[in-house]
Amino acid sequence: MFESEFLSPSNQSAYREAIAKTVDALLAALPTRPYSGKSAAELRALIGSDMLPSGTSSLTDVLDRVRPQIVHSQAVYHPNTIAHLHPPPLIASLAAELISASLNQSMDSFDLGPMATVLELAMCEWLCKEASLPAGADAIFTSGGTQSNFMGLLLARDACVEKHWSWSVQKRGLPPEASRMRFLCSEMAHFTVEKSASQLGLGADAVIKIRTDDKFRMDPADLAARLQQMTQEGLVAAAVVATAGTTDFGSIDPLRETAQLARQFGAWLHIDAAYGSALLLSNLHRNLLDGIELADSITVDFHKKFWQPISCGAFLLRDGEQFKHLRLHADYLNPESHEEQGIPNLVGKSLATSRRFDALKLWMSFQAMGRVKFGQMVDRTLELAVHAARRIASNPALELLHEPALACVVFRYVPAHAQSDPDTLTALLRQRLFERGVAIIGHTRVHGRQCLKFTCMNPAISEADLDALLDEIVKQGRDLEGS
Ligand SMILES: *Cc1c(COP(=O)(O)O)cnc(C)c1O
């Protein structure tokens, strides 16, 4: 009675037909604008209320019903979708998603995904080499930068407590001295540093923000001064977080100087390279990551500039032994006897238990594209950002805030009329572009001023696309001021 509902060697035609129909339905409804502009309330009305109908429906009917879901999606591939670190996914990675979802392997124990486990291990080994980490390094795939940052800070916390107070957080919880621990990062670091500190029982106030220079990079002099001051106050630097590619500006903290200070003060160095890790594959700019090999742990995101569908990230660890702070043995998944027999069970290195086989899509993308072309795509996004920055700098209606790093360009709209408030106008302009389905552009505050932002993630767009978008932004801004 249920056999036709599931893929199996004896039930292939239903699967083939379902996938083919789904592809047709998807392609027929693909949005051609960045966004339809519908409000959340309008979207809610399109969904109706029958979440679980009592009877069955044909797939054709269901695909009819799913059409609004497709139509009112954000078009990640559109040249004017340029707000976030949110890429169009590679076709090879989408093909891989079909395989990994259909086979539904899980990454917790070897028997739940034998080949999947071995491929993830091989990809992790490759990744550690690519980051020039020494022998003994280890890695694990994660759901993304948030989880990888959390893991880095968790291991930093537990290693710090073990070193200073000979105490196991895993067994005994936080020690009485925990209130003396601090994490240090730049004021441009990702908010998940504070979020992690809060979740790790140290509290968000345990994060010390270090000043950045005029290029939005952590200032090593300020870092040194704060570390010095902390020592005098009896505080303990559990971790220094350097960012390789800040979310707003793409700026890369001085990795070598930061690493040296972290070592001098006995702190764990975590490098958040969620964004900048793509430079590992760059043909022209790999040198910008010099010093990444000095990290104790590294965050890598593949669902950013490796063009993978969400979710796909990794966490790299200089000394793989440090995963011990996470490991607990479950008799049903990773009994200690397995370790003795050399059976690899990834659950011991992960925050998750059941986990997707995300390494496959990255591997298939690499196989399809090859290193040279992948590197060219990375480099192309930087080239596009430089072009956009030049155009902005030469347009009196726009103001460039920095030289682009990685592929971020932060700028302002300059009002034609002195009486227009630029901050309000900028916010309205961005909203207008979104609601009219014209463009999805980013925004951020710099020194208290409201700014616009491009994040060039799509190597398939052209200089002409960027020029047209900038002209449109100015035109809509002028219309807004006139209205
Ligand atoms: C995107 C980003 C993160 C968070 O990563 P997710 O994959 O969204 O969880 C962390 N750090 C930096 C620098 C980022 O750009």
Q: Do residues 43 and 111 both lie within one domain?
A: no
Please identify, by atom number, the ligand 1 atom nearest to the C-alpha of residue 273.
13
Please identify, by atom number, the ligand 1 atom nearest to the C-alpha of residue 246.
13
Q: Whole-angstrom Cα distance, residue 308 to residue 120?
A: 15
Q: Whole-angstrom Cα distance, residue 303 to residue 144?
A: 7
pLDDT score for 337: 84
Q: Do residues 229 and 311 both lie within one domain?
A: yes
Closest CA to 412 of 392, 431, 432, 439: 392
**Cα 483 to middle of ligand 1, angstroms:** 38
- Structural domain ending residue among the three candidates 356, 386, 401: 356
- Structural domain ending residue among the three candidates 356, 385, 416: 356
Domain membership of residue 300 as a residue range: 106-356
Q: What phi, psi does 51 have (nearest 5°)?
A: -70, -30
Helix H or strand E segment including 251: none
Q: How many other CB atoms are there within 10 angstroms of residue 353's CB atom?
A: 13
CB 163 within 8 A of CB 242: no
Cα dihedral 319, 320, 322, 325 in deg (nearest 10): 170
Q: Is residue 327 part of a domain?
A: yes
**Cα 27 to middle of ligand 1, angstroms:** 30
The edge-to-edge listing of strands for the beta sheet with 207-210 is 138-142, 313-317, 297-301, 268-273, 236-243, 181-186, 207-210
Q: Do residues 166 and 197 both lie within one domain?
A: yes
pLDDT score for 336: 84
Tokens of 69: 């879901």
Residue 166 Rama label (left phi>0; alpha psi -120 to 50; beta): left
CB 65 within 8 A of CB 109: no
Q: Is residue 80 part of a domain?
A: no
| pLDDT-flagged residues of the chain (< 50) | none
pLDDT score for 339: 82
Count of structural domains, the chain: 3
**Cα 144 to middle of ligand 1, angstroms:** 7
Ligand 1 pocket at CB < 6 A: 85, 144-146, 149, 190, 192, 243, 245, 247, 272, 274-275, 301, 313
Q: Do residues 396 and 331 both lie within one domain?
A: no
pLDDT score for 253: 98
Q: Do residues 377 and 418 both lie within one domain?
A: yes
pLDDT score for 458: 98
Please identify, by atom number, the ligand 1 atom nearest to the C-alpha of residue 146.
9
Question: In the predicted model, what is the mean pLDDT of the chain?
Answer: 96
pLDDT in tens, 325-368: 998 888 888 888 888 888 999 999 999 999 999 999 999 999 99
Please identify, by atom number, the ligand 1 atom nearest to the C-alpha of residue 275.
15
Q: Do residues 226 and 173 both lie within one domain?
A: yes
**What is the value of pTM for the model shown?**
0.97
pLDDT score for 420: 78
